[in-house]
Amino acid sequence: MNQAAAAGEEALARGAGGAMLYDASCLHHPDTAVFDPAHWQAQGALETTRGGRGTVAFVRASQDQRWVLRHYRRGGLIAHLADDLYVWTGADRTRSFREWRLLHRLRAWGLPVPTPVAARYQRAGLCYRADLVTAELPVRRTLAQALQQESLPDGTWHAIGQCVGALHARGVQHADLNAHNLLVGVNNDIYVLDFDRGRIRARGQWERAVFARLRRSLLKVTAGLPAGRFTVAHWQALLAGAGAG
């Protein structure tokens, strides 16, 4: 690919039928092979895959770097017709480029989100396919998984609220905040995943919708679990942490 790069800044490499964005401080030589789990498997660096049809892959990029590869796939009924194709409306409007740039800004603000490594699109007629590579966060346990295992203390719920509140303070709207894309680490460290379709906008009523979606997700994942996994007190602690109580 033809590259134009400056270390630590957004760099663009173009190729036949597509292009990739990357951070030259993370990826010194842009190569579309980094998006391919088979490439990493051949090197013995593929650790595991998750999601439907291996949508997400965890790889060891080097001795001290672990990356997460994600192939964009559709959900809902349209997935039966075109599970990974999106209508082409320009490079800057591709799902992967928009998420890479959003994550790049959020990291610059010091928010607890993944570091973007590389993003690409591949044209397919009037459509395109997309991929994203991010640095793996310090923990993999999602809030949903944590709740399957134990009841979390009020302090953890307060920390979750603080994390969401920090996003909203910057006007960051997560398009699908739920118990599966919040990670819970030690010492109540909270991280947020999956900013596909996320955006930055003026603060407003959309914040209530984000909390409502999160609450529905929590009710769903704790349905049938032992009593006490998600209570009114937990939700109030979360809202208090976010400054939305």
Asked if pLDDT for residue 70 goes beyond 80, the answer is yes
| DSSP assignment string, 148-164 | HH-PPPHHHHHHHHHHH
**Residue 83's pLDDT band (cuts 50, 70, 90):** confident
Read off the pTM.
0.92
**Residue 244's pLDDT band (cuts 50, 70, 90):** confident
Structure tokens at 145: 């998984």
Cβ atoms within 10 Å, residue 108? 8
Residues in the chain: 245
Is 176 annotated in the active site? yes
Please give the single-letter amino acid code of residue 25.
S
Asked if pLDDT for residue 47 goes beyond 60, the answer is yes
**Residue 52's pLDDT band (cuts 50, 70, 90):** low
pLDDT tens figures, 176-230? 999 999 999 989 999 999 999 999 999 999 999 999 999 999 999 999 999 999 9
Compute the distance between CA of residue 173 and CA of residue 41 in angstroms, rounded to an integer: 35
DSSP annotation of 81 reads T
Structure tokens at 158: 């307060």
Active-site choice (176, 189, 194, 196): 176
Strand partners, 130: 121
Q: Are 43 and 13 in contact (CB under 8 A)?
A: no
- φ, ψ of residue 170 to 5 degrees: the values are -95, 0
Asked if pLDDT for residue 7 goes beyond 50, the answer is no
| DSSP assignment string, 195-219 | -TT-EE---STHHHHHHHHHHHHHH
pLDDT given for residue 156 in this prediction: 98
- Picking from 73, 30, 32, the residue whose alpha carbon sits closest to that of residue 49 is 73
**Residue 26's pLDDT band (cuts 50, 70, 90):** confident
Strands 190-192 and 86-87: unpaired
Asked if pLDDT for residue 5 goes beyond 50, the answer is no
Q: Quick check: helix, strand or coil at residue 111? A: coil
DSSP annotation of 223 reads T
Mean pLDDT of 122-126: 95
